[in-house]
């Protein structure tokens, strides 16, 4: 065995180099940590309980809802625009039957005006800002209704008045096909009803009973579709709230599980890894180094005469000593992938992957030096007048015959025993340094 230091105050050794990279998420964590912040969107459950008769959420939640549902809105609006193209062409047939004297104008307005507008709307809808996408549905509906009213008003055919009832198709189309949101649907329907009323008043010699019947149809259709639009949007918003609430609960559960996992993996006093976490971590490191053909080193560290320290200063001071020493050990092992754990009582252990024996010995000396430089008084010590540690070092190539973590830990423990037997406050290696 090779002894690195005696009981005299040591000089700080050169730092050990890293042989290979190690994932940082396998390094030391802390049991403590800030609590996860509450969602900025607010409490979904509270909104569900309070209701939203106005079909509006709190500002930030409303923005999130619009963002989440935007792709489906775009899909429906594009379908509506494409179907509107077909409907614009199909209405030419009814134009020819109902207002034959305006068929040429109908062809021009529908094919040369409405069809290009609807086509451009369908083609470039995704490039329109989300806040303006629903407005395309309103614009298309108003333009279609305006063209239809113009054809009926400018026609002298006796069927021009009854032909106004076709405006109800626009109301039904927005309520059933594009599923326009309630408030936007209400805007469209009010405008369409106003256009219908204005056109009905401008029709020369109208058939009053027919126009009254048409008005009843238009108003009824509008009310029924608005009722349906309100129900559909309320259901959509409710389902979205329930889904977000479920995600919120799952996130809280996951954070709780992570917190519980941290508590079970880290020592609450020293705030470093505990024995359970070390056992899992050393298995991962060993498997990786066995695959890569590299070495694994272990430092077994023990605070010298700690029972005498506790008896002399008391357990509260002893706990503070353990915490300070543990923190010093963690800082002294500089690579993110090096893990320090509390092995039990005043005994600590460190695992260093991709590390040669020489590098491990240098790291052990660095840790011992750092604890020495704390200059924490230890009047009851039989070794020095300050707190010191003894370190046992072992290193094995993970893929060599007969190598195992059990053998590695046994060698480190034997080296620690030898360090104590030789006078403590020193680092002792099992085998020769390379």
Higher pLDDT, 73 or 126: 73
> Starting from the edge strand earliest in sequence, which strands make up the sheet with 2-3, in order?
2-3, 427-429, 389-397, 295-303, 347-353, 339-344
CATH of domain 2-32+267-429: 3.30.70.270
Which of 78-92, 119-133, 333-347, 352-366 bottoms out in mean pLDDT, i.e. has the lowest? 119-133
Q: SS3 for 356?
A: coil
CA dihedral of residues 40, 43, 44, 50 (deg, nearest 10): -130
CB atoms closer than 10 angstroms to residue 272:
24
Span 113-121, average pLDDT: 87
Q: Considering only CA atoms, which of 135, 163, 158 is closest in space to residue 77?
A: 135
Annotated domain spans of the chain: 2-32+267-429, 44-248
Span 150-174, average pLDDT: 91
**What integer best gives the mean pLDDT of the chain?**
84
CB atoms closer than 10 angstroms to residue 60:
12
Per-residue pLDDT at 72: 86
Higher pLDDT, 403 or 258: 403
Higher pLDDT, 205 or 302: 302
The answer to whether the beta carbons of residues 368 and 426 sit under 8 Å apart is yes
> Which tens digit of pLDDT belongs to each residue from 305-332?
999 999 999 999 999 999 999 999 999 9
Q: Considering only CA atoms, which of 390, 197, 379 is closest in space to residue 299?
A: 390
Q: Tell whether the model's pLDDT for residue 16 goes beyond 70.
A: no
Tokens 């230091």 locate to 5
Q: SS3 for 111?
A: helix
Per-residue pLDDT at 42: 55
Using CA atoms, how far residue 182 sits from 80, 140, 146, 298, in Å, is 16, 17, 22, 68
Q: SS3 for 139?
A: helix
Per-residue pLDDT at 223: 95
Instruction: Give CA–CA dist 152/177, Å, rounded.
Output: 25
Per-residue pLDDT at 431: 64
The answer to whether the beta carbons of residues 10 and 372 sit under 8 Å apart is yes
User: Chain-centre distance of CA 426, in angstroms?
Assistant: 48
Q: Tell whether the model's pLDDT for residue 34 goes beyond 80.
A: no
Tokens of 147: 């063209």
Q: SS3 for 266?
A: strand
> Which tens digit of pLDDT belongs to each residue from 410-434?
999 999 999 999 999 999 998 644 3
Is the model's pTM score more than 0.75? Answer: no
The answer to whether the beta carbons of residues 372 and 340 sit under 8 Å apart is no
Q: Which residues sit opposite 266 in a β-bridge?
A: 273
Report the Cα–Cα distance between both ends of the chain, in Å, rounded.
Answer: 12
Question: What percentage of the chain exceeds 90 in pLDDT?
Answer: 50
Q: Tell whether the model's pLDDT for residue 29 goes beyond 80.
A: no
Which of 95-116 are b and which e, b meaning 16 or more Cβ less than 10 Å from the residue's Cβ? beebbeebbebbeebbeeebbe
Helix pair angle (115-124, 59-98), 10° resolution: 150
Which of 3-12, 123-132, 241-250, 417-426 bottoms out in mean pLDDT, i.e. has the lowest? 3-12
Tokens of 201: 């008043």
Span 193-197, average pLDDT: 94
Q: SS3 for 404?
A: coil
Burial environment of residue 48 by CB neighbours within 10 A (0 to 12, 13 to 18, 19 or more): middle
Could you tell me the pLDDT band of residue 30, with boundaries at 50, 70 and 90?
Answer: very low
Instruction: Give CA–CA dist 413/404, Å, rounded.
Output: 14
CB atoms closer than 10 angstroms to residue 159:
15
User: What secondary structure letter does DSSP report for 426?
Assistant: S
Question: What percentage of the chain exceeds 70 in pLDDT?
Answer: 88
Instruction: Give CA–CA dist 343/326, Å, rounded.
Output: 11
Per-residue pLDDT at 427: 94
Per-residue pLDDT at 433: 40
Could you tell me the pLDDT band of residue 44, with boundaries at 50, 70 and 90?
Answer: confident
Per-residue pLDDT at 394: 95
DSSP per-residue string spanning 191-257 = HHHHHHHHHHHHSSS--HHHHHHHHHHHHHHHHHHHHHHHHHHHHHHHHHHHHHHHHHHHHHHHHHH
Burial environment of residue 360 by CB neighbours within 10 A (0 to 12, 13 to 18, 19 or more): buried
Tokens of 408: 């590695």
């Amino acid at each position: 065995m090779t002894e690195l230091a005696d009981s005299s105050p040591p000089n700080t050794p050169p730092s050990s180099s890293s042989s290979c990279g190690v994932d940082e998420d396998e390094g030391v964590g802390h049991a403590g940590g800030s609590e996860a912040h509450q969602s900025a969107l607010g409490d979904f459950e509270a909104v569900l309980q309070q209701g939203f008769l106005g079909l509006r959420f709190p500002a930030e939640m409303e923005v999130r809802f619009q963002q989440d549902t935007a792709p489906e809105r775009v899909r429906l609006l594009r379908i509506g625009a494409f179907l509107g193209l077909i409907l614009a062409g199909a209405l030419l047939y009814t134009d020819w039957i109902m207002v034959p004297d305006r068929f040429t104008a109908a062809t021009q307005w529908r094919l040369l005006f409405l069809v290009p507008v609807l086509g451009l709307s369908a083609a470039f809808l995704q490039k329109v800002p989300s806040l303006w996408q629903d407005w395309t549905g309103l614009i298309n509906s108003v333009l279609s209704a305006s063209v239809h009213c113009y054809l009926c008003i400018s026609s002298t055919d006796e069927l021009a008045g009854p032909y106004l009832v076709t405006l109800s198709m626009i109301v039904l189309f927005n309520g059933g096909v594009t599923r326009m949101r309630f408030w936007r649907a209400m805007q469209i329907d009010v405008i369409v009803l106003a256009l219908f009323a204005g056109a009905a008043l401008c029709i020369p010699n109208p058939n009053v009973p027919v126009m009254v019947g048409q008005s009843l149809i238009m108003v009824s259709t509008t009310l029924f579709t608005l009722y349906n639009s309100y129900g559909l949007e309320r259901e959509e918003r409710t389902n979205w709230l329930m889904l977000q609430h479920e995600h919120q609960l799952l996130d809280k559960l996951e954070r709780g599980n992570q917190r519980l996992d941290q508590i079970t993996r880290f020592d609450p006093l020293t705030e470093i890894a505990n024995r359970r976490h070390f056992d899992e971590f050393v298995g991962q490191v060993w498997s990786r180094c066995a695959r890569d053909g590299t070495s694994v080193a272990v430092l077994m560290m023990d605070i010298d005469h700690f029972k005498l320290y506790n008896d002399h200063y008391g357990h509260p001071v002893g706990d503070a000593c353990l915490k300070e020493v543990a923190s010093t050990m963690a800082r002294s092992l500089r690579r993110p992938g090096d893990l320090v754990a509390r092995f039990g009582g005043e005994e600590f252990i460190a695992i260093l992957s991709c590390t040669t024996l020489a590098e491990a010995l240098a790291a052990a000396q660095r840790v011992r030096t750092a604890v020495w430089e704390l200059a924490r008084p230890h009047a009851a010590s039989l070794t020095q007048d300050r707190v010191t540690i003894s370190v046992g070092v072992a290193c094995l190539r993970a893929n060599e015959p007969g190598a195992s973590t059990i053998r590695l830990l046994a060698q480190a423990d034997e080296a620690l025993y030898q360090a104590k037997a030789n006078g403590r406050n020193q680092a002792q290696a099992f085998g020769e340094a390379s």
